[in-house]
Amino acid sequence: MSAERARRPRTPGAAKPPKVPPLGAGAARTAPAGTPDVTIITGLSGAGRSEAAKSFEDLGYFVVDNLPPALIGKMAELATGAGGPSRVAIVADVRGGVFFSELSDGLGELKRLGVPYRILFLEASDEDLVRRFETTRRRHPLAPADRVVEGIRKERLMMESLKEDADLILDTSGLSPHDLRDRIREVFAESPADTSLQVSIVSFGFKHGVPRDADLVLDVRFLPNPHWIDALRPLTGGDPRVREYVTRQPSYADFMDRLRSLLDVVVPGYVEEGKSYLTIAIGCTGGRHRSVVVAGELAEYFRGKGLPVAVAHRDVDRA
C-alpha cells in the first residue's frame, strides 16, 4: 500500500470532499454534531465483504448490504435526521449493476451533504479467491459462464482505481473469518485515543508471500537466523531467548536506530498529509523469529509516540 490512501473518487473539477476524520472518539469530536460516521465497504468478490459487514454490525454500526451506489446519498440523509444511526457501514460491490459512475455520484452526494466518509477495500490473492469460490461452489459475478480466475481478472481491472482511492486496504489472504474480525475490530472499534494516524505492524515470512496491504515493507533477513540454532528453532520471537539472540547481533542496534530516525521523518509527514492508516510489514524468511522481534520493538516505538498500534504475527504458527 505504497500509494497515498486518503484520496477520494470525484468527478473532474469537483471540490475535494471533506477530510475523513480519525476513527473512534476523535472522529465524533471532529465531525459536526449529528453527522454520521460513514464507512464504505468494498473490494473483490470473495475477499470477505460479508464477514466484514458482520464485524461492523458487532461494533454497533448500522450496516446496509448491497446498497445501489446511487442511493448512498439518500441513506446519508436518513442517517443525519433525528434519531438516525451515528455509525453507518455501506457494502458496495459489482453486484450493484452500473457501479463506478453511480458510486462517484453517491460519494459526491456525501460531499454535498458535508458527511465525512472513509473507504475500506478488501482484497486477497488469486489463489485464495479461487479456493474460496471452489469451497462455496459459487460462480463469480463477473464470470457466470466462465472460469473463476477470469472473473477475478476482470474485477481486479475494474476495481483498480477504487483501490487506489481507498483509505484502508485489508489483504485477507490466509486470514480466517476470526482473523478478519480481529483486524477490523482493531481498526474500527471506538477508542478514547484522539489521533490522526493508526498504525498496524505485521510480521511475516517472505516464503509465505509479502502482505499486499503494506505501506512500508522491511526486510530483516540480513540478521543471523535463529532457525539455525537448534535450541531456538522451535521457539518464536516472543520468547526472551530468541529476542536476546536477535537483539545482541552487532548490526541490530544500528539498524533500529536508523529505522527510528527514518520514521521520525516520515511519520509526521504522513500525519501532515492527512494519512489515517499506516501498515508496516516486517519480513524474515519464515516469519517466526527475527521479524517478530523487530515488530515488537517497533510497536514500542509507536506507543512511545502516543500512537495507537496493533501488532499481528501473520506466520508465527506456520512451519
Q: Are residues 221 and 259 in the same domain?
A: yes
How confident is residue 143, by pLDDT bands cut at 50, 70 and 90?
Answer: confident
- pTM for the model stands at 0.58
Q: Are residues 178 and 204 in the same domain?
A: no
- Strand boundaries in the chain, DSSP class E: 37-43, 62-64, 87-91, 117-123, 168-171, 198-205, 216-219, 277-284, 309-313
* Alpha-carbon distance values, 246 to 201, 293, 302 (Å): 18, 7, 20
Domain end among 166, 188, 210: 188
Residues 193-199 have a mean pLDDT of 63
How large a percentage of the chain has pLDDT more than 70? 84
pLDDT at 190 over 80: no
- What's the burial of 129, exposed, middle or buried (CB within 10 Å: 0-12/13-18/19+)? buried
Residue with more model confidence, 42 or 2: 42
- Order across the sheet with 277-284: list the strands: 216-219, 277-284, 198-205, 309-313
Q: Are residues 249 and 173 in the same domain?
A: no
Q: Are residues 99 and 165 in the same domain?
A: yes
Q: Are residues 150 and 250 in the same domain?
A: no
Q: What is the pLDDT of residues 260-319, one digit of tens each?
A: 999 999 998 887 776 778 999 999 999 999 999 999 999 999 999 888 899 999 999 987
Q: What is the pLDDT of residues 77-110, one digit of tens each?
A: 888 877 778 889 998 876 545 566 678 788 888 8
What's residue 100's pLDDT?
64
DSSP element (H, E) containing 113: helix 100-113
Total structural domains within the chain: 2
What's residue 37's pLDDT?
83
Show the domain range for 92.
Answer: 25-188
100 located within any domain = yes
pLDDT at 14 over 80: no
Q: What is the pLDDT of residues 25-78, one digit of tens each?
A: 333 334 455 678 889 999 998 899 989 998 898 888 899 987 888 788 888 888
How confident is residue 2, by pLDDT bands cut at 50, 70 and 90?
Answer: very low
